[in-house]
Amino acid sequence: MLLKPNLENHCFGCGGANARGMQLAFEQDDAACRIRGVFRLGAEYQGGPGIVHGGIVATLLDEVMAKVSRFEKDVAVTGELTVEYLKPVPVGEDLTVEGWETERNGRLRMRQGEIRNSSGAVLARGRGKFVEIDPARFRQAAAEPTRAT
């Protein structure tokens, strides 16, 4: 199942309403209980020459791990994110990003994610602690106007 960017969501990573955002789309693999996406990032996302900015690498991992909530149809937000930058992540090449859940305890969700190149080498790995929240409160916060500072 393809998870397209929601046209009413302003999220930088996956929102379809954010013209400056990444508008990432993922696939839900029900058999493997994994979320995956294949992306080719352009030079606008680079840090060093030809290399994806580390913050964007973290964003990709955070997004794919957050989408794992789709399996349980819950809403969970990032409580902690750890990223291992194993090899440079190149711009202009196909990247596979994959996320899955490793543990569930009450409201706490432990998840992992990886970014691989087209040869399958792991370029970056993430671990995240996500906390389930009340969906009604989440929707209410999303409906409030964005405040500029």
75 has pLDDT over 70: yes
- Cβ neighbours of residue 118 closer than 8 Å, sequence gap 6 or more: 93, 94, 95, 96
Report domain extents, the chain.
32-143
Strand partners, 83: 126
pLDDT at residue 149, as a whole number: 46
Q: Options 3.10.129.10, 3.40.50.300, 3.30.360.10, 3.20.190.10; which CATH number does 32-143 get?
A: 3.10.129.10
pLDDT at residue 142, as a whole number: 62
Structure-model confidence comparison of residues 96 and 143, the more confident one: 96
Q: Over the stretch 18-66, which tens digit does the pLDDT of each residue have?
A: 888 788 899 999 999 999 999 999 999 999 999 999 999 999 999 999 9
pLDDT at residue 71, as a whole number: 84
CA distance 86 to 122: 7
Side by side, the strands of the sheet bearing 94-105 are 2-3, 26-29, 34-40, 94-105, 108-117, 122-133, 75-85
Q: What mean pLDDT value characterizes the chain?
A: 89
